[in-house]
Every structure is written in C-alpha cells, then in structure tokens.
Structure 1
Amino acid sequence: MTEFTPLMSLAGGALIGLAAVALMGLLGRIAGINGILSGLIALPNSSDWAWRAAFVLGLLGSPLIVLMIAGTLPALSVPVSPIMIGIGGVLVGIGTSLGSGCTSGHGVCGIARLSKRSIAATLTFMATALITVFVIRHVIGA
C-alpha cells in the first residue's frame, strides 16, 4: 500500500500548476510533456528548441535538486519487471499519440482551459487506470 502524504502531494501539485501557468504566461505554450518532448526531437533547429530543452532538462535534473536539499533520494519500490515497465511505456506512448496529448497536457492544462476534448481525454485516462488497477489486483491477483 502506498503511503498518503497530503502536504507533499499538495506542494507537488502546486508546483506543477505554477510551472504550467508560468509556461503559458511567459511563452504562451501548454505544458504537455508529450508535445514538448516530441517538438524537441522533431524540430531540432526550431526557435522553440531552447525552452523545450530547458524544460526537459529541468524534469530530468529535478532529482538532483531533491538530493541536494534533502541529502537523499526517496526510496523507490517498483513491483514489476523491467519488461512490464517497457510494455507499459509503449502502451502509454501509443495512448498519448491516439489521444493527441498526455495527462499533463490534457489533465492539467486542458481542464484548466475548460477544453471539452481534454476533459473527455482525462476521463478516459482515469477510467482506463481504474479498470487496469481493478483487473490487475482483483482479476489477475498480482
């Protein structure tokens, strides 16, 4: 069972919201990780490349900031094999392509803009997650 940490969850959510608002306010861009990363890869000579690279480097470098502040990284426990993680990653990639975005773009930014498409996509993400957890825990018994 995962430990519930309401204050850390609130702080993390506030930081995600602040980053999304800052990106929209300063650059007029949506903080959808799928779109940011795909634009970084697909458009290496674009004028958007610098902010996209900075955003991705910030995502990858944030554990170093945690390490510097806390002196240690949180303990991680991954209860599935690397193959299952890979399969999950491929399925998420397919889903973000079919859904024209990811949970950060639709769930954080799209819902905040009252986008009907993003609300539908987020409801689909959440329903799929609920069904997946139910099947894995109660049908398969893993």
Structure 2
Amino acid sequence: MQIVVDIAAWQRGLAGGLLIGAAAATLLAANGRIAGISGVIGGLLSAQPSGGRRWRLLFVLGLLAGALVMARLAGLHHTPVAGSLAVTLVAGLLVGFGTRMGNGCTSGHGVCGIARFSRRSIVATLAFMGAGIATVFVLRLLGAVS
C-alpha cells in the first residue's frame, strides 16, 4: 500500500480551518454569539428569535458571499454532485433532525464547543463523527458508496 500526501491539500485544509476558527472567534468576541450554523439559521427562521435577526442574516449572507468569492478565485464554476436529489434531500432532513436532537451542529459543537472545552460538545462531536464513520462503512458494505 502506498500513501501519497498532497501538500497543497493539507495546506488548503489548514488555511480553511484557521479562517473558520478566526471567524468563530470574531463572532464570539464581537457579538457574544457562538457560530453554530443550525442555531443561527434556526433563529433566523424563528418567529421570535432570541438576540435578533439582523446579525443572523448578515452572518448567513457573509457565509454565502465568502463561498462565492472563494469559488470564483479558485476557478470553480460547477461542482458535480454524486447521487440522487431524493437521497440528498432525505440526508439533509436527517442532518437537520440530528442537529435539533443534539442541540447543535458540527460547527457549534465541533468548532466552537470543543474550543471552549465543553464536555457536551466533545461527547456530541464524538457521537456524530462515530455515526458518520459507521454510516460510510455500512454504505460501502452495501455497495451504495464507492
């Protein structure tokens, strides 16, 4: 077995991780809020959001604008999606349900919660990472994912 390390790939991952951490730290320092995306969007769509709607809207617009700018800079114009639309929709609904059940998502627990040494976030992150690994393992056994 040969292991090939793509230096550029890990450097991009490191740069992305540092930018995500910096954005989460900036939001916490400037607004006193955790950058948990499910909570931000849930509050944005809520009839009575606690803490206001404006900062949430600006945060989501900033995420979308940042993604568009980076895609343009990287020359990415179209990213093909493998799998069916139905499977993607069901997966999205299950992820949304899971974030509600777990009181947060990967960004809230995995990035912000672990950085604050939250035991609940560490347990949640271990749980969803384990569930993700188990799901890929089972889907590969069934031949649904290559």
TM-score scaled by structure 1? 0.88
Consecutive unaligned residues in structure 1, runs of 5 or more: none
Percent of aligned pairs with the same residue?
50
CA contact (8 A) 1:63 1:73 kept: no
Paired residues, number? 138
Partner of 1:107: 110
Partner of 1:140: 142
The 3-state SS of whatever aligns with 1:48 is coil
Give a deviation string over 1:76-123, Cα, whole Å, max 9, x none. Answer: 232211110001001001100100010000000001111111111000
The 3-state SS of whatever aligns with 2:103 is coil
CA contact (8 A) 2:43 2:49 kept: no
TM-score scaled by structure 2? 0.86
For residues 22 and 40 of structure 2, the distance between their equivalents in structure 1, rounded to whole angstroms, comes to 17
The 3-state SS of whatever aligns with 2:76 is coil
Shift of 1:68: 4.3
Matched, 1:28 2:49: no
Q: Which moved more, 1:86-95 or 1:75-84?
A: 75-84
Alpha carbons of 1:28 and 1:43: their partners in 2 closer, same or farther (altered >3 Å)? farther
CA RMSD of aligned residues (A): 2.0
Consecutive unaligned residues in structure 2, runs of 5 or more: none
